[in-house]
Amino acid sequence: MKGGSNVTPALAAEHGLTEEEFDRTVGILGHVPNMTELGIFSAMWSEHCSYKSSKVWLKTLPTTGPRVICGPGENAGVIDIGDGEAVVFKIESHNHPSFIEPYQGAATGVGGILRDVFTMGARPIAILDSLHFGSPDHARTRHLVAGVVSGIGGYGNCVGVPTVGGECEFHPCYDGNILVNAMCVGIVRTDRIFYSAAAGPGNPVIYVGAKTGRDGIHGATMASAEFGADAGEKRPTVQVGDPFTEKLLIEACLELMEGDAIVAIQDMGAAGLTSSSVEMAGKGGLGIELDLDRVPLRETGMSAYEIMLSESQERMLMILRPGGEAEARRIFAKWELDFAVIGRVTETGRLVLRMNGDIAADIPVEPLVTAAPVYQRPWLRRHPEPEIDPASIPDRDPLDCLRRLMASPTLASKRWIWEQYDHLVMANTVKRPGGDAAVVRVSATGKALALATDCTPRYCRADPVRGGAQAVAESWRNLTAVGAEPLALTDNMNFGNPERPEIMGEFAGAIEGMREACLALDYPVVSGNVSLYNETNGSAILPTPVIGGVGLVANVQNVVDLALKRDGDALILIGETSGHLGCSLYLREIESSEAGPPPPIDLAAERRNGDFVRRVIRAGHAVACHDLSDGGLFAAVAEMAMTGGRGVVLDPIPSDLPSNAYLFGEDQARYIVETADPDTVLELARAAGVPAHVIGAVSGVALTLSGAGAISVEALRAANEAWLPDYMAQA
């Protein structure tokens, strides 16, 4: 190696390494790191790659179960769905890049999560997107919505993977820091799952896909710091996506995976060639030697530092069996993709990089991976919000409140968004966007998957433990409401600066709640992503642990949706109603208050009621079903009515509750089922010890509430459909 290093602690600090962390790198290397080595340490030890603030908490989540083939730690989680098939899925954030450059930021978020799934040998079959934007009144919001949505569509539509679901919320806390979380789901044969651990010293290391350029250098480090006023200047750290190359890469990789040439494979995501090569070597307990002169480059004069930290998209690293090269080369040539042997696996346990006849870096892999700092950051628990006195909430016309809620940004139809996504390609979309969960058929079998993303950030702020549990419970409930058996989840933990104890308290609390719910519902976490430092100028987002849930439907003919089907059918409310208005959407939209604790979570009731609803659906007693969440009972009835184009006559409100608490309260563990046979359902509920009673009947073309009047379903739908297109059309 040439001469002494001119890397100083100050330069290390600019790379996000603390003085202690920098000293640790010197200890590991036995000398001061050169620039390339510094870049590698800084990327691997960034929050984004090392999970240094979150690791101790993530470890407490349940990650195993009878169907779990692969939990967290690989590119994506893998769950057995029988018949020799498995579902592979993960969610990942692209928050910071999407705020800086919404189209490319969101597009490359989709590209990255697709690669995580097909890297494991799975064909991607669905994409979902959980989006959180700032206040509709904020100057940048419209531009961000337009850019993010067209970026997601531009990428997903071109690669030909349907975008079948997701969610979209607005809140001023995201004004300076939007959330773009993308989830991908794929299907793989259980005997054809590929992992990333390097094996076989001497085996060739192969680079495939797009060429390497100077884009996205240090994206992982950017994702590990707060935004200041200079966010716009970070635009060059955002990568540029090429979905066409990704489509070719998917087909080429899956074609090669049909044979036995591949030993290990890893996509180049955050921190590019650095993290992919280090992770492969680390997992295999081996070394890797790379000849950087052989890396296909898009630009001339790139340094070792730039090559190793570039986040150019649509690239993969593979380790092949001896003799597997010719087959791989043929397939990648067919798909007109770059293919280069850039190194080999070694027994040294070191990452050695050569360039221009010199050694550009030489780092022992094991400490680079395992000596990454782990922090027990101090945390503070928030004081619980005092209960709301129901008597303090004014009486208001419930039909007028309903109309306002259904036209509010949270409940307004998101059709304007999902019609820009091809949600039908691959010809397996059984339930399209807009319901509780999307349902996608798994070809050639009677099986289908139910998919949903969920989180209620205002609950998580008011009570992180309850909020975390509720996010998991609502995900489980959404899958249940279409008749699916919830299998497992992937989590995207979006939080503020973990160095602030109150933020770390939100994180710890949410994990605690999630853990309790996952255990009670047998709903393990098999993959996920942590996005911290979601703050701008010291103002943090609401804690937003987004849950991506996957459920299994054994017979796709048995799924139901929320659309009302037949006049005369009864609507049965499952679950207990106490009229909890604290932290509700009703309070926020109608009373402009975010006060009060979120609704209590009774996980035993959640489990019992959900298992019951699933049984009723499978037995064919329910022709429609909907879970109750934002806006409570009345919003759920309205959604069922609007989707089915039918009216409802609601029975009189129980006299022991204020009417709007009954109608709009957000008590948990509740569903509405439409049935032609209420006696049977009520009898089954009694036997199962599940609270259930008839609340009304399907009838006519209006929502009728005795004593309050009626509102036409068409008028409600018009208001519900109009908000987002009207908002986006304003200049």
Partner 1 sequence: MRAVIIIFPGSNRERDVCAALALVTGREPVRVWHRDTAMPESDLIVLPGGFAYGDYLRCGAMAAHSPVMSEVRERAAKGTPVLGICNGFQILAEARMLPGALLPNRSLRFTCRDVHLCVENNQTIFTCGYEVGQTIRVPVAHHDGNYTAESDTLDRLEDRGLVAFRYCGPDGELSEAGNFNGSARAIAGIFNDSRTVLGLMPHLENAVDPLLGGTDGRAFFEGLVGALQ
Catalytic residues: 48, 94
In sign, the C-alpha dihedral spanning 221, 210, 248, 318 is: negative
Residue numbers 4-43 binding partner 1 by CB under 8 A: none
Q: Confirm if 564 and 698 have CB atoms less than 8 A apart.
A: yes
- Under rule CB under 8 A, residue 731 binds partner 1: no
Residue numbers 332-351 binding partner 1 by CB under 8 A: 334-336
Q: Confirm if 77 and 88 have CB atoms less than 8 A apart.
A: yes
Compare residues 28 and 425 and give the one whose CB is closer to partner 1. Answer: 425
Q: Which phi and psi angles does 365 have, rounded to 5°? A: -70, -40
Closest CA to 432 of 444, 446, 422: 422
Compare residues 228 and 725 and give the one whose CB is closer to partner 1. Answer: 725
Compare residues 434 and 528 and give the one whose CB is closer to partner 1. Answer: 434
Amino acid at 285: G
Q: How many other CB atoms are found less than 10 A from the CB of residue 64?
A: 11
CB of 90 to partner 1, least distance (A): 22
- Under rule CB under 8 A, residue 114 binds partner 1: no
Give the position of tokens 């690791």. Answer: 55
CB of 243 to partner 1, least distance (A): 7
Q: Which phi and psi angles does 617 have, rounded to 5°? A: -65, -45
190 vs 71, 80, 124, CA distance in Å? 14, 8, 15
CB of 426 to partner 1, least distance (A): 6
List 121, 165, 166, 243, residue binding partner 1 (CB under 8 A): 243
Q: Sketch the per residue contact string, 51 through 90, with partner 1: x for CB under 8 A, - otherwise.
A: ----------------------------------------
- Under rule CB under 8 A, residue 425 binds partner 1: yes
Compare residues 184 and 556 and give the one whose CB is closer to partner 1. Answer: 556
Three-state DSSP state, 61: coil
In sign, the C-alpha dihedral spanning 506, 512, 516, 521 is: positive
Compare residues 402 and 553 and give the one whose CB is closer to partner 1. Answer: 553
Q: How many other CB atoms are found less than 10 A from the CB of residue 59?
A: 12
Give the position of tokens 């060639």. Answer: 273
Q: 272-284 and 35-44 helices cross at what angle (nearest 10)?
A: 70
Compare residues 160 and 172 and give the one whose CB is closer to partner 1. Answer: 160
Amino acid at 26: V
Give residue 355's region: left, alpha or beta (phi > 0; psi -120 to 50): beta
- Under rule CB under 8 A, residue 110 binds partner 1: no
- Under rule CB under 8 A, residue 423 binds partner 1: yes
Cα separation, 712 vs 706, whole angstroms: 14
Q: How many other CB atoms are found less than 10 A from the CB of residue 300?
A: 5
List 36, 98, 157, 456, residue binding partner 1 (CB under 8 A): 157
CB of 259 to partner 1, least distance (A): 18
Sole window of 71-79, 111-119, 416-424, 451-459 interacting with partner 1 (rule: CB under 8 A): 416-424
Task: Output the CA angle 525-52-373, nearest 5 degrees.
Answer: 140
Give the position of tokens 């036209």. Answer: 407
CB of 639 to partner 1, least distance (A): 19
Give the position of tokens 């990089």. Answer: 353
Question: Read out DSSP for 316-337?
Answer: EEEEE-TT-HHHHHHHHHHTT-
Size of the site for partner 1 (CB under 8 A): 33
Compare residues 334 and 693 and give the one whose CB is closer to partner 1. Answer: 334
Residue numbers 537-576 binding partner 1 by CB under 8 A: 556-557
CB of 729 to partner 1, least distance (A): 10
Cα separation, 13 vs 11, whole angstroms: 5
Sole window of 218-226, 417-425, 661-669, 705-713 interacting with partner 1 (rule: CB under 8 A): 417-425
CB of 35 to partner 1, least distance (A): 36
Three-state DSSP state, 527: strand
List 118, 305, 421, 476, residue binding partner 1 (CB under 8 A): 421
CB of 649 to partner 1, least distance (A): 27
- Under rule CB under 8 A, residue 414 binds partner 1: no
- Under rule CB under 8 A, residue 419 binds partner 1: yes
Beta strand 624-627 with 448-454: parallel, antiparallel or unpaired? unpaired
- Quote the tokens at residue 322: 């001896």
- Under rule CB under 8 A, residue 313 binds partner 1: no
Cα separation, 99 vs 541, whole angstroms: 13
Amino acid at 538: G
Q: Write the CB contacts of 182 (distance below 8 Å, at least 6 apart in sequence).
A: 91, 92, 94, 106, 109, 110, 112, 113, 127, 128, 129, 152
- Under rule CB under 8 A, residue 445 binds partner 1: no
Sole window of 126-134, 421-429, 630-638, 683-691 interacting with partner 1 (rule: CB under 8 A): 421-429
Q: How many other CB atoms are found less than 10 A from the CB of residue 56?
A: 15
Give the chain's length.
731
Sole window of 292-300, 349-357, 413-421, 653-661 interacting with partner 1 (rule: CB under 8 A): 413-421
Q: Sketch the per residue contact string, 195 through 234, with partner 1: x for CB under 8 A, - otherwise.
A: ----------------------------------------
Residue numbers 471-500 binding partner 1 by CB under 8 A: none
- Under rule CB under 8 A, residue 441 binds partner 1: yes
Compare residues 159 and 625 and give the one whose CB is closer to partner 1. Answer: 159
Three-state DSSP state, 168: strand
- Under rule CB under 8 A, residue 389 binds partner 1: no
Q: Helices (DSSP H) in 78-140: which residue ranges?
A: 95-100, 102-118
Compare residues 82 and 446 and give the one whose CB is closer to partner 1. Answer: 446
- Under rule CB under 8 A, residue 701 binds partner 1: no
Compare residues 270 and 426 and give the one whose CB is closer to partner 1. Answer: 426
Cα separation, 617 vs 675, whole angstroms: 10
List 5, 135, 150, 539, residue binding partner 1 (CB under 8 A): 150
Q: Confirm if 457 and 534 have CB atoms less than 8 A apart.
A: no
- Under rule CB under 8 A, residue 426 binds partner 1: yes
List 169, 289, 422, 639, residue binding partner 1 (CB under 8 A): 422
Give residue 123's region: left, alpha or beta (phi > 0; psi -120 to 50): beta
Classify each residue of 234-267 as buried b or exposed e, where b means 16 or more C-beta atoms within 10 Å of its C-beta: beebbbebbbebbbbbbbbbbbbbeeebbbbbbb
Bridge partners (DSSP) listed for residue 68? 79
Q: Confirm if 246 and 155 have CB atoms less than 8 A apart.
A: yes
Residue numbers 245-264 binding partner 1 by CB under 8 A: 245, 247-248
- Under rule CB under 8 A, residue 158 binds partner 1: yes
Compare residues 187 and 469 and give the one whose CB is closer to partner 1. Answer: 187
List 229, 427, 687, 731, residue binding partner 1 (CB under 8 A): 427
CB of 427 to partner 1, least distance (A): 4
List 1, 326, 424, 715, residue binding partner 1 (CB under 8 A): 424
- Under rule CB under 8 A, residue 717 binds partner 1: no
Compare residues 484 and 603 and give the one whose CB is closer to partner 1. Answer: 484
Contacts with partner 1 by CB under 8 A lie at 150, 153-154, 157-160, 242-245, 247-248, 334-336, 418-430, 432, 441, 556-557
